[in-house]
Amino acid sequence: MTSKFPIDFTPSYLINTPIGEYNKEYEHQPIRMPTILNKYDAFDLLEVSDNGLTVFYKGPGLFNAHAASIRANYSMPIEAGLYYFEVDIIDRGQHGYIGIGFGESNVSVNGLPGTAFTNVEGNLYPMIGLRSRGEIVEANFGQRPFKFNIDNYAQFIFKEVRKNEALRQWIDRIFGENDNNNIEVTTDGSSSSSEDSDE
């Protein structure tokens, strides 16, 4: 089954935010976000569905050395200000040794992903790790509705960002690098371009 979503898309919770507006205006060169699991960036004991969203454990699952992880196709973008993804455990398999987390591109995929970070400076990729027979996990990067109401949460967060001068300056600095891009967060948490506000 192939996904109806293009490889680059903006999830619903980020549509009316600076990154959503940026990606709409500069769709030929969007800020990329994780959208599928990268079958070329996975340990060889895993199999990935054709749509890139479901991962199956195919190893022996006898020892920790048999743990296997896969990274998403892109790292979570700092420009988003907020990032979210979910997983469904389709089958916990024999023992349910499943790890969900983030990792840099140089983190080994022969193991479960870590979830504790200190002084992280690199790009973090969503990761899924499996270690026992029969485990199946499906990722959701926004291709279907999330179980958690991230849209309302994002609206609240970006409304709070607008009230915080330091965060507004951070957004302006990230998106202000392009002189043609005058996207700003409005007081209701949505975003608008200066072209919209001049009308």
Which residue range forms the structural domain that includes residue 116? Answer: 33-140
pTM: 0.81
For residue 92, tell me if it sits in a domain: yes
Residue 197 falls within a domain, yes or no? no
54 lies in some domain: yes
Domain membership flag for residue 12: no
| Residue 175 in domain | no
> Do residues 81 and 17 make contact, with C-beta atoms less than 8 angstroms apart?
yes
pLDDT digits (tens, 9 = 90+) for 64-75: 999 999 999 999
Res 85 pLDDT > 90: yes
DSSP labels for 90-154? Answer: EEETTT--EEEEEE-TTS-SSSPPP---SS--S--EEEEEE-STTEEEEEESSSS--SS-HHHHH
Segment 132-146, tens digit of pLDDT: 999 999 999 999 999
| 109 located within any domain | yes
Residue 43 lies in a domain: yes
Q: Domains in the chain: how many in total?
A: 1
80 part of a folded domain = yes
CATH code for the domain of 51: 2.60.120.920
Q: Give per-residue pLDDT as tens, 159-198.
A: 887 787 777 777 777 776 544 444 454 445 455 544 444 4
